[in-house]
Amino acid sequence: MKSNIYTLGNRRKINPDWFTGPVHMKDISSTISSKGHDIYHVYFKNGAKTKLHAHNGDQILIVTSGKGSLELFKKLQNKKSHFTIKKTQTTPLVPGDMVFIPKKTLHTHGSTSKKQAFSHIALNIIPSRSTKYQTTWYDSNFKNQASGIV
């Protein structure tokens, strides 16, 4: 059986409003023509992390370098222009760690060091063949308030 060797990932254009600092990513899934999931290698610099968000499908993160964290939140109360949140879990992440994030889980992840980059591979599992993997992004103070979709 012949194996294929790929140079993985073309740099993907991202919306900087989805992050708190410098981030770039490589799109692995387009290189290998994967079906059923999107795969990205995401690089966070200088303590950058994602803004608060949730996905319509499950997600698996595999840490490849640096120190980071995954923070889970619970939505407490909806108001007209914002909602109240509460952090329910913080998980430190180091190379080799893998975490599973169930669909519709409000969360953030990224670097915990201003001096060291952090990266992970994100496997976004598409919920069904007839839908597209979607992420809903929020502005937040990461403590108790979140507002409008970014």
In a domain, 4, yes or no: no
pLDDT the model gives residue 30: 84
Residue 12 has pLDDT above 60, yes or no: yes
Question: Quick check: is 98 in a domain?
Answer: yes
Take residue 111 and report the two structure tokens written for it.
């670097």
Q: Is residue 132 classed as helix, strand or coil in its secondary structure?
A: coil
Tens-digit pLDDT profile for residues 85-104: 999 999 999 999 999 999 99
Domain assignment of residue 134, yes or no = yes
Q: Find the domain containing 49 and state its range.
A: 10-149
Q: Is residue 3 part of a domain?
A: no
What's the CATH number where 69 sits?
2.60.120.10
- The verdict on residue 22 lying in a domain is yes
Cβ neighbours of 9 (radius 10 Å) = 18
Number of structural domains, the chain?
Answer: 1
Q: How confident is the model at residue 1 (pLDDT cuts 50, 70, 90)?
A: very low
Closest-CA residue to 25 (of 52, 48, 58)? 48
127 conformational bin, left if phi > 0, alpha if psi -120 to 50, beta if neither: alpha
* Element (DSSP H or E) covering residue 109: strand 106-111
